[in-house]
Structure 1
Amino acid sequence: MKRLSFVLFCLALAACKEEVAQDVTPVALSPDAVGHYCQMTLLEHDGPKAQAHLAGLPGAPLFFSQVRDVVAYLRMPEQSHEVVAVWVNDMGAAGASWDSPGAQNWIDAQDALFVVGADVVGGMGAPELVPFSDPAAAQDFASANGGAVMTLDEIPDAAVLAPVDLVHDTDDSAFQDRLRALSDKMGD
């Protein structure tokens, strides 16, 4: 009987345990922030960045070198953890520029407006989704650079999941020359 009472006591105690909310406050960019996909330091790349906070992993968000990449991540079914928050650089914030998008000017991706299809590329050389908190700033950017202003849910899958041709120069003769030279050197 004592054993049953102890088990019931433990179950009651466990039921009373309060859930502690996970801190999903955005983390400032630093030299330690590396891109989830590329494993490169984010500060070395132009354009807006993103971070995703995963359930059960407090204080250790996944960083993304491009906003496009975090949206692709959200749409892929292979995630190991629930995404509980996504933050993106507000490119309309004071001091934000393409070369230096800011270390602490994060906005919730659900609240952001994105310029999709603009004539700009992000930190990894792919077309970029450019986030803004201010609708007028987003529209001004779209007017100057092309593209359309959309919410996160309106962004078409093709804008983030379709293959991207990163080759801007079709003349690969220099690459072929280097490859031949390397091959000749290894043959000696």
Structure 2
Amino acid sequence: MTRLLALMMLLLTVSCREEVAQDTAPLPLTEAAVGHFCQMNLFEHEGPKGQVHLAGLPQMPLFFSQVRDAIAYQRLPEQSHEILAVWVNDMGADGARWSDPGTENWIDARAAYFVVGGETTGGMGAPETVPFSGPEEAARFAARAGGTVMRLDEIPDAAVLAPVATGPDEDESEFEQRLRALSDATGD
């Protein structure tokens, strides 16, 4: 009887325990951070970075070598975990440079202003989606580098999911043509 009572108390304690919220604060960029898609050290790549925090995986967020890739990850159907937070480098922050975008100047991607479709190439060689905390900084950057200022939910899928040619004389393979057709079919 004592064992049964102890078991019931344990179950009651576990069931009454409040669920502790997962910490989704941005982590500083360190040498330990590698890109989720490329598995390369992020310090080897220029341009802004992103980090995505997933439910149930509190140890380490997924880091991305390009902001474009972090946005693309959110839109991929293969995700296995709920996305709790997405942080991106604020390229308008004091000291942020393309060669050194910063290690702690993170802003919530939902609050950021992005320059999309400009001539800027990110760390992995694809067109970059450049984040800023304010619309003025984003507009000044777009005036210099081209592109359009957009909020996260305005960025078309084609801007982050479409394949990118890496060379001017490169022919599109059949696979790339199918990917481009799928991206164009989304209507973005």
Q: CA deviation at 1:98?
A: 0.8
User: Paired residue for 2:157?
Assistant: 157
Q: CA deviation at 1:32?
A: 1.3
CA distance in 2, matches of 1:123, 1:48: 8
Q: CA deviation at 1:7?
A: 5.8
1:86-101 equivalent positions in 2, closer than 5 A: 86-101=86-101
Between structure 1 and structure 2, the one with the greater Rg is 1
Checking the alignment, whether the CA contact within 8 Å between 1:47 and 1:100 is kept in structure 2 is yes
1:168-179 equivalent positions in 2, closer than 5 A: 168=168, 170=169
AA at the equivalent of 1:28: P
Checking the alignment, whether the CA contact within 8 Å between 1:24 and 1:59 is kept in structure 2 is no
Q: CA deviation at 1:4?
A: 7.0
Aligned residue for 2:107, secondary structure, equals strand
User: Paired residue for 2:142?
Assistant: 142
CA distance in 1, matches of 2:160, 2:76: 11
Checking the alignment, whether the CA contact within 8 Å between 1:113 and 1:150 is kept in structure 2 is yes
The size of the alignment, in residue pairs, is 170
Q: CA deviation at 1:57?
A: 1.2
User: Paired residue for 2:177?
Assistant: none
User: Paired residue for 2:181?
Assistant: none
| Unpaired stretches in structure 2, ≥5 consecutive residues | 171-188
CA distance in 1, matches of 2:40, 2:94: 26
User: Paired residue for 2:73?
Assistant: 73
Q: CA deviation at 1:155?
A: 0.4
1:97-136 equivalent positions in 2, closer than 5 A: 97-136=97-136
What is the CA deviation profile of residues 105-130 of structure 1, one whole-angstrom value per residue up to 9, with x for unaligned ones?
00011111101001100000000000
| Unpaired stretches in structure 1, ≥5 consecutive residues | 172-188
CA distance in 1, matches of 2:77, 2:20: 27
- Structure 1's consecutive aligned runs of 4 or more residues displaced over 4 angstroms after TM superposition are 1-8
Aligned residue for 1:114, secondary structure, equals strand
AA at the equivalent of 2:158: A
AA at the equivalent of 1:110: R
Q: CA deviation at 1:27?
A: 1.2
AA at the equivalent of 2:102: G
Percent identity over the alignment is: 63
Please give the TM-score of this superposition, normalised by the length of structure 1.
Answer: 0.84
Q: CA deviation at 1:14?
A: 2.6
User: Paired residue for 2:64?
Assistant: 64
Please give the TM-score of this superposition, normalised by the length of structure 2.
Answer: 0.84
User: Paired residue for 1:184?
Assistant: none
Checking the alignment, whether the CA contact within 8 Å between 1:92 and 1:133 is kept in structure 2 is yes
Checking the alignment, whether the CA contact within 8 Å between 1:50 and 1:70 is kept in structure 2 is yes
After superposition, the CA RMSD in angstroms is 1.7
AA at the equivalent of 1:155: I
CA distance in 2, matches of 1:11, 1:96: 51
Aligned residue for 1:43, secondary structure, equals helix
